């Protein structure tokens, strides 16, 4: 899902958000007077875990000021709490960010993601709608709203959200695979296959995309191709329940009863209701 951190600006200093994998160590709280270090940490300079970002943002928040920079610090700390799975704290921080700066669409988007992960779809859609109202070109928010519609089994609406996200930002990560998946579910199989191909061109090691392609091939009755795609997904993510279950179904269709039943059993051990999901996708 597309959460959105920002770069904090204080006293004319700008430290841009770095990509994941930064190597700066920060295992103990940074001193409050080390402004530059705190800004860097809050901007995500150390992605070894969420803790360095929480430490840096907390130091900025504890300054006691209610400025736009502190609003960003709340947003970024909320993003780190979301990464930890601490959604209640994340929600509190996004709310604080919005109170300080209610015109910024990013914390509304992030708040929507946190509620989505908690399963509170009504509050999720309310905040994602507001993010898009504030910024109608916010492609990540459209992707997140599409994922919400997927959760509600409203796949046609999800597809339209992905259409808009791709129109706005054709290289946005997750959009092509997301539309591939929704098209696979509703039966637009050739279009879905094309979307998965485009997703794999830009991100060739994403298990979810191979999993989506596996579902397409199962629906096309191309069971050997489905097994190959599910194998690729499982090489990246060995305990992906949907890939194990899908591969099991494909093996059964090919007459490999023992192999198919073993995969399906393993999938159900990981996710008990996985069979019900495939039934909703039109595959049994």
CATH top class, domain 138-196: mainly alpha
Q: What does the mean pLDDT of the chain come to?
A: 89
% pLDDT > 90, the chain: 78
pLDDT tens string 99-128: 999 999 999 999 999 999 999 999 999 999
Q: What is the mean pLDDT of residues 124-135?
A: 98
| pLDDT for the residue numbered 2 | 66
Quick check: do 138-196 and 205-284 share a fold?
A: yes
Q: What are phi and psi of 14, to 5 degrees?
A: -130, 125
* CATH number for the segment(s) 1-135: 1.25.40.10
| pLDDT for the residue numbered 16 | 28
- Which segment of 16-25, 151-160, 170-179, 188-197 scores lowest on mean pLDDT? 16-25
> In which element (H, E) is residue 14 found?
strand 13-14
Other CB atoms within a 10 A radius of the CB of residue 203 amount to: 14
- Report how far apart, in Å, the C-alpha atoms of 162 and of each of 75, 134, 156 are: 25, 19, 10
Structure tokens at 62: 């504890």
| pLDDT for the residue numbered 147 | 96
Q: What is the mean pLDDT of residues 119-148?
A: 98
pTM for this one? 0.82
Residues 6+ apart with CB under 8 A from 88: none
Instruction: Please state which of the four CATH numbers 1.10.287.1080, 1.25.40.10, 3.40.50.1820, 1.10.287.130 is assigned to the domain occupying 205-284.
Output: 1.25.40.10
**Do the beta carbons of residue 219 and residue 283 sit within 8 Å?**
yes
Closest to 107 measured CA to CA, from 84, 149, 138: 138
Confidence of residue 12 (pLDDT cuts 50, 70, 90): very low
Cα–Cα dist 121/98, whole Å: 20
**Do the beta carbons of residue 135 and residue 104 sit within 8 Å?**
no
| pLDDT for the residue numbered 173 | 86
């Amino acid at each position: 899902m597309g959460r959105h951190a920002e770069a904090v600006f204080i006293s004319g200093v700008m430290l841009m958000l770095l990509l994941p994998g930064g190597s700066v160590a920060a295992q103990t709280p940074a001193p409050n007077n080390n402004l530059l270090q705190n800004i860097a940490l809050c901007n995500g300079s150390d992605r070894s875990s969420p803790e360095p970002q929480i430490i840096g943002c907390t130091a900025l928040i504890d300054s006691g000021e209610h400025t736009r920079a502190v609003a960003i610090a709340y947003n970024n700390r909320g993003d780190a709490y979301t990464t930890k799975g601490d959604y209640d704290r994340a929600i509190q921080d996004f709310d604080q960010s919005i109170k300080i700066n209610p015109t910024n669409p990013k914390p509304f988007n992030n708040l929507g993601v946190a509620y989505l992960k908690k399963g509170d779809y009504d509050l999720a859609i309310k905040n994602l709608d507001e993010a898009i109202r504030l910024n109608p070109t916010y492609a990540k928010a459209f992707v997140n709203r599409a994922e919400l519609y997927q959760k509600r089994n409203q796949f046609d609406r999800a597809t339209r959200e992905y259409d808009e996200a791709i129109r706005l930002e054709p290289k946005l990560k997750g959009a092509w695979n997301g539309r591939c998946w929704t098209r696979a579910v509703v039966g637009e199989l050739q279009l879905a296959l094309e979307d998965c191909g485009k997703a794999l061109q830009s991100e060739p090691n994403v298990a979810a995309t191979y999993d989506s392609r596996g579902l397409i091939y199962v629906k096309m009755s191309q069971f050997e191709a489905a097994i190959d795609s599910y194998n690729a997904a499982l090489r990246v993510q060995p305990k992906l329940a949907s890939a194990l279950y899908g591969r099991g179904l494909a093996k059964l269709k090919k007459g490999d009863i023992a192999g198919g039943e073993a995969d399906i059993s393993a999938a159900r051990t990981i996710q008990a209701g996985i069979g019900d999901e495939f039934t909703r996708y039109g595959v049994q």
